Amino acid sequence: MLELLIVVLIVLWLLGYFGPARIPAIPRTGNLVHLLLVIILILIVIRVLR
């Protein structure tokens, strides 16, 4: 389950980072992209420590 959450967050991060340049309908996310990246890193650390 944790792996699925990590994959979903990575996809959302990629859409937020690369999306506005390629697909104008995706709004710019600003700092939310970096927040998603931090959450992903925390989840990966939790996964490694288990």
Taking residues 14-37, what's their average pLDDT? 76
At 27-44, the pLDDT tens digits run: 776 777 788 888 888 988
What is the spatial distance between Cα 35 and Cα 13, in angstroms, rounded to a whole number?
Answer: 9
Q: What is the DSSP string of the chain?
A: -HHHHHHHHHHHHHHHHHHHHH-TTSPP-TTHHHHHHHHHHHHHHHHHH-
Q: How far apart are CA 15 and CA 37, in angstroms?
A: 12
**What is the structure's pLDDT at 49?**
92
Q: What is the pTM of this model?
A: 0.63
- Domain ranges across the chain: 2-49
Q: What average pLDDT does the structure give for the chain?
A: 81
More reliable by pLDDT, 7 or 31: 7
